Structures are given as structure tokens and as C-alpha cells.
């Protein structure tokens, strides 16, 4: 997958909207986006974490069998305590009798990509927010996926047509083949490449400094922007993305979580942002 000449690097994330450690990686991705700007491009390949919940078994995390919904909910809570992202794990109890697979949400992202790559990336983020923190059932097509797609700026009819025609499903199956070719079996996984064709592949949740280290191997002249915390800078960050969690501010501005929350509290007291309580945490909205 060649990198355009005007870019230094491209990051492809192998992912699934339901993956809690992909959700945990969002602050790192935003840190890279803000610190490196147009030098780095992002793309994603959908990995289909669970094809059939009845057959799924994850011995490492003790997930599988008739108690899967409760087990995944507990896994999300444990992961949240580590990656610091808001979750409402009770969504798994809400949908335990109807949820069959993560594949429909993956296919929905492919349907969005047929319209616009940038909007598809926003839609993927919106699916993550909805599933992880807002207790939304994103496996439902017409009453959840289509509504989120429309609010992201996608055309609802085109979105539904891509699903109905089977084109989105085929695109997803192509992504699965790429996962197999790259030996990706867990999420997130990352492929970083430069415009000379050099690549580095690595697996699992990674801190920001790990990316910086790998960037240095592939693009020695990459310029990293220094991000200094302050009311204006943090407000500009919230306004840029529209909805952020405190952990994202902490990550991007290299702050302790409590200090990041304090900065956002000042913005809220000044009437510049609003808080949205979700699950075990909150979002800040510009």
C-alpha cells in the first residue's frame, strides 16, 4: 500500500468497533494526529473480532460460553481501569439475547467508506463512542447504524444501499483476507509505512512513545510539534474534534488525568464546553 509522496508516513490500524483496546488507543491516535499533522496519514482495516458469539472463545481473557456477556462486560471494566477511557459495560447485558457477531458493525464501516474516507473514519469513531460509552446497540442496522451514519454526515440512502447490495460485506471480506495475509489475529494491530515502501508491523495496544520510536526508523526528519497545555490550546483541541474524553487531553498534552479534568472543568465553568456523563466517565463537548 504505497504512501503518497507528500506524506512521510501512513498508519493502518487493524481494528473492530467493539475492541476495547482499540477504544483505548484513540488518545494515542489523536496525539499523533495533533503532533505530526499532515506528515502522517491514517487508514484502517476491519478485522471482525467475533464472527459468531456461540463459537467464540478467548481463554486469555476467560471469555466464552453462556456467560460471555457478563465476562465481556467485566473485561471492559478491567480494561477501562487500565486505559482510562469511559465505558458503559452494561451494554453487553442489554444485548446478550440478540447480539450474535461484531461483523455487522465492521461491515457498516465499509459501507461508509464507499462514500467518503474521512467521514468513514469519523463514523468509526462514532461507533466506538456509541458502543463503548453510550450503551448503544451498534449491531442494529436501521435504527442505530444508519442514524449514526447520517449524523456523521453520510448519506443514509447510500449507506443502506451499500449494505443491501452486498458490496460493503464483500469489502469487509477483502479486509479479512488482508488480516490473514498479515497474520493479524488480535486488535489493535498497526502497519506503519513510508513513501520508500519500508514497513513495520506490530501488534497490540502501544503507548505514544513506541510510535515515536518506530517513526524514527522510517522517517528520520519527521517533525514533532510541541504541545503546551493551556486554556486556549485545550479548548482548540476540544473544538477540533468536537467530543473528547479527559484521557485524550491528558495524553495529548502530557498531563496527569486529574489535571486534564481540571482544565476541562475550567472550560466548562467559562461556558466554553459542556460535559456529557457516560458510563463510568464523561465526554467534553465543544
Question: What phi and psi, each to the nearest 5 degrees, are found at residue 12?
Answer: -105, 125
Q: Where are the beta strands (DSSP E) in the chain?
A: 9-15, 40-46, 57-58, 63-64, 189-194, 199-203, 243-244, 274-278, 281-285
All structural domains of the chain, each given as residue ranges with its CATH number in brackets, are: 9-181 (3.40.30.10), 231-285 (1.10.10.10)
Q: In what order do the strands lie in the sheet with 274-278?
A: 243-244, 281-285, 274-278
The pTM for the full model equals 0.95
Q: Name the one residue in this structure whose C-alpha cell is 448519506.
A: 155
Q: What is the pLDDT along the chain (286 residues), one digit of tens a residue?
A: 555 545 689 999 999 999 999 999 999 999 999 999 999 999 999 999 999 999 998 888 889 999 999 999 999 999 999 999 999 999 999 999 999 999 999 999 999 999 999 999 999 999 999 999 999 999 999 999 999 999 999 999 999 999 999 999 999 999 999 999 999 999 999 999 998 999 999 999 999 999 999 999 999 889 999 899 999 999 999 999 999 999 999 999 999 999 999 999 999 999 999 999 999 999 999 9
Cβ atoms of 266 and 231 within 8 Å: the answer is yes
For residue 220, what is its C-alpha cell? 528520520
For residue 20, what is its C-alpha cell? 476495547
Amino acid at each position: 500500500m504505497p504512501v503518497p509522496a507528500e506524506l512521510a508516513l501512513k498508519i493502518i490500524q487493524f481494528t473492530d468497533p467493539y475492541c476495547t483496546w482499540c477504544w483505548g488507543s484513540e488518545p494515542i491516535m489523536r496525539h499523533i494526529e495533533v503532533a505530526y499533522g499532515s506528515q502522517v496519514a491514517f487508514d484502517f482495516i476491519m478485522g471482525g473480532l467475533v464472527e459468531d458469539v456461540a463459537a467464540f472463545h478467548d481463554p486469555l481473557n476467560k471469555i466464552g460460553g453462556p456467560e460471555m456477556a457478563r465476562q465481556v462486560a467485566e473485561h471492559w471494566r478491567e480494561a477501562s481501569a487500565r486505559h482510562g477511557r469511559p465505558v458503559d459495560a452494561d451494554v453487553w447485558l442489554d444485548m446478550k439475547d440478540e447480539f450474535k457477531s461484531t461483523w455487522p458493525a465492521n461491515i457498516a464501516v465499509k459501507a461508509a467508506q464507499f462514500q467518503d474516507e474521512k467521514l468513514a473514519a469519523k463514523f468509526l469513531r462514532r461507533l466506538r463512542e456509541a458502543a463503548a460509552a453510550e450503551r448503544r446497540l451498534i449491531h442494529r442496522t436501521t435504527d442505530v447504524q444508519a442514524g449514526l451514519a447520517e449524523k456523521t454526515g453520510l448519506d443514509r440512502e447510500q449507506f443502506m444501499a451499500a449494505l443491501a447490495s452486498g458490496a460493503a460485506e464483500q469489502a469487509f471480506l477483502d479486509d479479512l483476507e488482508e488480516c490473514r495475509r498479515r497474520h493479524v489475529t488480535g486488535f489493535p494491530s498497526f502497519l506503519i509505512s513510508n513513501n520508500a515502501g519500508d514497513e513495520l508491523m506490530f501488534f497490540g495496544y502501544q503507548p505514544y512513545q513506541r510510535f515515536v520510536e518506530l517513526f524514527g526508523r522510517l522517517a528520520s526528519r519527521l517533525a514533532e510539534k510541541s504541545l503546551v497545555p493551556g486554556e486556549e490550546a485545550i479548548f482548540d483541541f476540544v473544538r477540533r474534534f468536537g467530543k473528547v474524553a479527559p484521557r485524550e487531553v491528558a495524553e495529548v498534552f502530557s498531563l496527569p488525568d486529574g489535571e486534564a479534568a481540571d482544565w476541562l472543568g475550567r472550560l466548562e465553568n467559562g461556558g466554553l464546553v459542556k460535559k456529557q456523563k457516560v458510563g463510568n466517565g464523561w465526554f467534553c463537548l465543544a
